[in-house]
């Protein structure tokens, strides 16, 4: 948006400083906050393309880090690098190459650590860019600082697996990284590029048709929000299953596994309905939402397949299946190729479901609040 347009819409004009208003302090406090300004495209923040790409790279590097960390757990290598915060009696992250490339579990663990540092570096670069112009983007600035703190906290908790109770720390590490993932998606969505065609034609939802549109958008938003909540619950249940304390009663594992299975059915339904509703959005401006709908379809299929595979590869076929349906005689292979990769991909795609739902929630929220796109024709 041009500076001129921003001034007109009120979103970008220079705010009068508090010192110059001349009102007494007490009176200012009693005053109601001004209503949120209606802007044509309030979040149409034109981000430098390279910075946006950097934030996107940060997200995908994070996904890779999560994937390698999951691989590490799948290989049962949660605490394989002794001597934290050092590595095999070497200082800090300088793991001896013979160890790093000597065993798969150490390879995954060390790579996970290095990728984590990569994520931190990218985030720091983004943060520096945001801080270069102070007092201009407090939300993003705060978000980056929060993310940086979360990243440090997550890394420390991950390292403490070696020093303290492995399972409990792994649990916290996984949950903290989920929160970090959510934060990084939020950062990406807040800095998204708004293509010019998105904001070219705008119609406010004041007509009956517009009201109907807004209502439909709200319904879709609620649906996506439930999807987000459900996917977070799934991640939570999955983490509890993977890192259940060894002295936990068997009952609790059953609670988590059935929560995960029933949650998967619920989430599958929500994914299907959300993806179907998103695919019905015809406007050109909604193409990003349609893309996310396609992502949800794809992830739904993959997760159903990987979920069943993960069960069979870890716990074998259920009794009712091989007694009543087909006598599938299978012997589980511990740390076998399929077991490791099916589980790892199941977890990674689970995180991706959270990210896609969160992105959809952000975009639908913005869409409902801001504009009514019109078909390009």
Residue that is written with structure tokens 């109601």 in the block: 32
CA–CA dist 187, 2 (Å, integer) = 23
CA–CA dist 215, 232 (Å, integer) = 26
Give yes or no for a contact between 234 and 267, defined as CB atoms under 8 angstroms apart: yes
Among 115, 140, 267, 354, binds other proteins (CB under 8 A): 140
Name the 3-class secondary structure at 70: helix
Q: Any residues with CB less than 8 A from the CB of 87 and at least 6 apart, and which?
A: 81, 93, 94, 95, 96, 99, 110
Does residue 33 touch other proteins according to CB under 8 A?
A: yes
CA–CA dist 345, 33 (Å, integer) = 47
Q: Which is nearer to other proteins, 27 or 329 (CB)?
A: 329
Q: Which is nearer to other proteins, 63 or 108 (CB)?
A: 108
Question: 93-122: which residues touch other proteins (CB under 8 A)?
Answer: 98-99, 102-103, 105-106
CA–CA dist 93, 90 (Å, integer) = 8
| CA torsion through residues 139, 46, 177, 133, sign | negative
Does residue 365 touch other proteins according to CB under 8 A?
A: no
- Among 120-128, 180-188, 205-213, 238-246, the segment contacting other proteins (CB under 8 A): 238-246
- Among 116-124, 225-233, 241-249, 296-304, the segment contacting other proteins (CB under 8 A): 241-249
Smallest gap from Cβ 325 to other proteins, in A, equals 12
Among 68, 71, 80, 221, binds other proteins (CB under 8 A): 80
Question: 4-23: which residues touch other proteins (CB under 8 A)?
Answer: 6, 11-12, 15
Name the 3-class secondary structure at 232: helix
Give yes or no for a contact between 106 and 81, defined as CB atoms under 8 angstroms apart: yes
Question: 291-330: which residues touch other proteins (CB under 8 A)?
Answer: 315-317, 319, 322-323, 327-330
Q: Which is nearer to other proteins, 16 or 208 (CB)?
A: 16
Question: 161-200: which residues touch other proteins (CB under 8 A)?
Answer: 162-166, 168-169, 172, 176, 190-191
How many residues make contact with other proteins (CB under 8 A)? Answer: 88
Q: Which is nearer to other proteins, 145 or 302 (CB)?
A: 145
Does residue 210 touch other proteins according to CB under 8 A?
A: no
65, 97, 101, 293 from 111: Cα distances, Å: 8, 12, 10, 32
Binding mask 325-354 for other proteins (x = CB under 8 A): --xxxxxxxxx-------------------
């Amino acid at each position: 948006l041009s500076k001129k347009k921003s001034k007109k819409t009120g979103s970008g004009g220079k705010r009068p400083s508090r010192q110059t208003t001349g009102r007494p302090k007490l009176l200012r406090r009693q005053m109601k906050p001004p209503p949120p300004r209606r802007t044509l495209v309030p979040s149409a923040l034109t981000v430098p393309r390279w910075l946006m790409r950097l934030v996107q790279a940060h997200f995908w590097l994070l996904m890779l880090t999560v994937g390698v960390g999951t691989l590490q757990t799948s290989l049962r290598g949660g605490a394989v690098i002794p001597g934290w915060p050092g590595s095999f009696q070497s200082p800090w992250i300088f793991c001896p190459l013979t160890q790093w490339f000597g065993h798969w579990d150490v390879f995954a663990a060390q790579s996970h650590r290095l990728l984590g540092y990569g994520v931190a570096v990218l985030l720091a670069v983004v943060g520096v860019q945001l801080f270069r112009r102070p007092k201009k983007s407090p939300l993003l600035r705060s978000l980056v600082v929060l993310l940086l703190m979360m990243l440090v906290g997550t890394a420390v908790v991950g390292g403490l697996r070696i020093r303290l109770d492995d399972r409990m720390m792994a649990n916290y590490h996984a949950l903290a990284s989920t929160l970090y993932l959510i934060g990084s998606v939020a950062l990406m969505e807040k800095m998204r590029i708004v293509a010019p065609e998105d904001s070219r034609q705008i119609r406010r939802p004041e007509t009956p048709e517009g009201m109907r549109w807004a209502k439909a958008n709200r319904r879709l938003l609620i649906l996506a929000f439930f999807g987000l909540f459900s996917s977070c619950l799934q991640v939570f249940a999955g983490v509890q299953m993977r890192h259940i304390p060894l002295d936990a009663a068997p009952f609790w594992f059953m609670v988590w596994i059935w929560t995960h299975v029933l949650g998967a059915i619920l989430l599958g339904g929500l994914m299907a309905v959300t993806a179907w509703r998103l695919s019905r959005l015809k406007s050109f401006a909604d193409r990003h939402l349609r893309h996310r709908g396609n992502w949800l379809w794809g992830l739904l299929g993959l997760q159903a397949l990987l979920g069943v595979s993960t069960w069979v590869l870890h716990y074998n076929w259920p009794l009712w299946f091989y007694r009543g349906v087909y006598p599938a005689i299978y012997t589980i292979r511990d740390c076998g190729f399929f077991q490791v990769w099916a589980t790892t991909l199941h977890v990674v795609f689970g995180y991706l479901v959270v990210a896609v739902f969160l992105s959809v929630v952000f975009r639908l929220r913005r869409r409902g609040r801001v504009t009514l796109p019109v078909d390009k024709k």
